[in-house]
Structure 1
Amino acid sequence: MTALPTAPATQSVQTKHMPPALVVLMSIATGISVASLYYAQPLLHTLALEFHLTSSEAGGIVTTAQIGYAMGLLLIVPLGDRFEHRRLIVIMTLLAAVGLALTAIAPSFTLLLIATGLTALFTVVAQILLPFAATLAADDERGKVVGTVMSGLLMGLLLARTASGLLSSLGSWRTVYAVAAIAMTILAFVLYRALPPYRKMSSLPYPQLILSVLRLFLEERVLRVRALIGGLIFAVFSVLWTSMAFLLAQDPFHYSDGTIGLFGLIGAIGALAASGAGRLADRGLGGRVTTFGLVILLLSWLAMVFAPISVFALIVGILLLDLAVQAIHVSNLNALFNKRPEARSRLNSGYMTSYFIGGALGSVLSANAYQYAGWQGVVWVGAGLSALALLVWFWSLAPIRR
């Protein structure tokens, strides 16, 4: 099969180390952007009461966000290999702000879903910032930079729940989205002023650019394996966080939105693993990190079994699960970004599309498992998906051993 055609770069790859301030800014930006997907999770019980929904229907908000994000990954992120990065990032950030503002004023559940999908579609700006950071980084610091930016993304993903719960307690669930819309607008201005202009693009027309993502799946075994594992681990992640609000809002806990949101702080501790995983990947240990992470992911569900009667068990389970998911995710990205430098946005598009399809599947399975089998049903689904991910990884290593 022929290699993907590429165009000469209009700017050479950065060989000097990135300024630390720029790394921090891109880390914060990815965190604020991706947080937009997760503000709803600690609010699901409240939203279900306001719009008269079942737990399964309320879980559809999270599913809609993840499907919209997956569509953005497939249809928008590849544009990072074609258009000037700074302009594309700023425009997408502003459009995500519009989606958040529409969510804040949505008068019905249907319009809430539409606004949620629109927000998610453009929140994929985080997945253009990430390969952009990998491109700007020098070869000997790429794993560290990717890990640092991923730490910011994951902190945003997890702390979104804490911020959402606290803002909801101070105002209402609509306050959460109004504040988020303002934050994204400010972020767009800061990124316009701080990011360097950069264009290193393919000359492919848009339809061929999208099709080339599918061709990458055919050409690159590492993409196929890592995308499948990524989809499974994010499904596991979504299984936990989609139903946890229902568990904590009912007997014997009866926690408020603000208290439920604080559990995001626990998961954020695991986000610290991302930077460490990136450094290990720079040393050629990404495969071992993946193996270790998948084993820990499966073991985390042993603690989750006791969550209905022990908050401590739930905390232990959250720590182990988030630590594992984030370490595996960073190892996946490092393996991909070192493969085809000229197609990083499209590799990221293919991988992250699979990642969020898995997340959407996990949300659906979790909401339905909780509705029909309670928390123990959620545990069985999460443990089963974790075991499947571990089996896929060992299967992928068999040809290497031979």
Structure 2
Amino acid sequence: MENFGRPKLTSALLWLMTIVSGVVVANNYYNQPLLAEIAAEFKVTEAEVSKITVLTQLGYAFGLLMIIPLGDKLFRKKLILVDLVIVFLALIWMAISKELWMMSMASFFIGCTSVIPQLFVPMVADLSNSENRSQNIGMVMSGLLLGILLSRFIGGIVGDIWGWRSIYWGAATMMVVSWVFIYKMLPEMKPNFQGNYASLMKSVWHLATTEPILQLASFRGAVSFASMCAVFTTLAFHLEQPPFEVGPSIAGTFGLIGAAGALGAVLVGKLNKIWSRYKIITVSLIILLLSWGFIYFMGNTYIGLVIGIILIDLGLQSSHIMNQSDYFAIKTTATSRLNTVYMVSYFIGGSFGSWIAAQAWGVAGWPGVCIVGVTFALLGIGSHLLLGNKIRLANETTDQNIQ
């Protein structure tokens, strides 16, 4: 019998959403270490095959905007189950593709439908109380981040041993396993929006233009993600030059270093029990800014880059979790739509950070990239210090007046 009230968020259910988040989001990143192998099979240039990655990310952004708001309008469990079927079909299409255009289309649909973790996050927020919301969101986000980090590593190894198509057959199998566990364990929750799809999307825009807490969280998230993307977009170029002179495999290994940030994301949720969200965000953004000191001043050493990347990832993920806790505390049932505004802003920021860092590399090399990264980090902490407390106090005053 389905429970349409407020189900209990058990430890098993939280682990299920954490693991499935990692497994699903990994679909977006398997292709990155396999591009050279795919280019060789289809006899195309690296520039042509790189469109696969671009289309996957564009698909993800499209799915965030068009699918995630449906979490407020439709039964989430059924939406997730249908989405998993489409992911499965897209992965099979990718595995059997005989032409590059087929892979490109399959990649777009893989990205578009691999947004299930962003349906889980508002669900966890809804089922958590204020004391453990940050900790629970942090756990799910850690699963998502580990999925991103490990997918490149696993994809490269599996593709090297069994060929690039094998990873997609394996991923499709994991979608079937995930579907079964979601069907058996995930509770159903009653939708909280009764209008049509057009009015649903209008309400997304309304939230984006009328909620100051959401606006500030979205800006902080966008510029912080832009700061991190600046370093990862150009790291391979930097490592090709003296004194390193190493290939892309070493650059890819730096992605695993970010696992420290994923583990830190769990701890920051526990820290929220003794520190305010404002204080944690402040410290997180300072850490993100300080990371660029290591990346610039010690950027010609492995130890400097390792410390810098651990710090930038820790700062980003910690502030990311607190940003989500901040806007999920807004008194509204439109949690999926809140998450849509934030995540779309987040990925737009990352895309812009990648683009402008690439331009800076061409003009000024590594110092230019560092200037870009520091600028975005300063925008994040500056906006937080200038507006964070002001918006929080104004919101508390409004709540008191309502009461």
* Superposition TM-score tier, normalisation by shorter sequence: 0.7 to 0.9
Unaligned runs of 5+ in 2: 395-403
Which position in structure 1 is the counterpart of 2:381?
A: 390
Contact 2:5–2:190 (CA under 8 A) maintained in structure 1: no
Question: In the TM superposition, what are the counterparts of 1:110-129 in structure 2 within 5 Å?
Answer: 110-129=101-120
Determine the structure 2 residue equivalent to 1:194. 185
Deviates more, 1:166-175 or 1:325-334: 166-175
Aligned to 1:12: 5
Question: How big is each residue's C-alpha offset from its partner over 1:154-204, in whole Å with a ceiling of 9 and x where there is no partner?
Answer: 211222222223223323444333332322232122211221122232112
Query: 1:319 corresponds to which letter in structure 2?
Result: I
Q: In structure 2, do the counterparts of structure 1 residues 390 and 260 end up closer, same or farther at CA, with 3 Å as the change threshold?
A: same
Aligned partner of 1:162 in structure 2 is 153
1:341-367: CA deviation from partner (whole Å, max 9, x where unpaired): 411111011111111111222333344
Aligned residues of 1:66 and 1:360 also touching (Cα < 8 A): no
Are 1:26 and 2:12 an aligned pair? no
- CA deviations 1:241-296 (Å, max 9, x no partner) are 33334444676343464x54433321011111212222233445111111111111
1:310 pairs with 2:312: no
Candidates 303, 327, 335, aligned match of 1:344: 335
Query: Cα–Cα, structure 1 residues 182 and 261, in superposed 2: closer, same or farther, change >3 Å?
Result: farther
The number of equivalent residue pairs is 388
Gaps of 5+ in 1: 1-9
| In structure 1, C-alpha distance between the alignment counterparts of 2:273 and 2:25, rounded to whole Å | 25
Q: Higher relative CO (CA 8 A, sep ≥ 6), structure 1 or 2?
A: 1
Q: 1:283 to 1:129 in 2, by over 3 A?
A: same
Larger displacement relative to structure 2 (18-27 or 154-163): 154-163
Counterpart for residue 85 of structure 2: 94
Match of 2:26 in 1: 35
Residue 242 of structure 2 is aligned to residue 262 of structure 1: no
Q: How does 1:348-367 map to 2 (within 5 A)?
A: 348-367=339-358
TM-score (norm 2): 0.86
Aligned mate of 2:134, from 140, 143, 147? 143
- Structure 1 segment 34-53 matched on structure 2, within 5 A: 34-43=25-34, 51-53=44-46
Instruction: State which of 245, 250, 271 in structure 1 corresponds to 2:262.
Output: 271
| Deviating more after overlay: 293-302 vs 94-103 | 94-103
Q: Distance in 2 between matches of 1:110 and 1:250?
A: 34
CA apart distance, 1:337? 1.2
1:225 matched residue in structure 2: 216
Give the match's secondary structure for 1:132.
helix
Do structure 1's residue 181 and structure 2's residue 172 form an aligned pair? yes
Q: 1:13 is matched by which residue type in structure 2?
A: R
Corresponding letter in the other structure for 2:246? H
TM-score computed with the length of structure 1 as normaliser:
0.86
Are residues 307 and 46 of structure 1, via their aligned partners in 2, closer, same or farther at CA, if it must alter by over 3 Å? farther
The match for 1:289 among 276, 280, 283 is: 280
Q: 1:374-385 alignment to 2 at 5 Å?
A: 374-385=365-376
- Whole-angstrom CA distance in 1 between matches of 2:158 and 2:360: 29
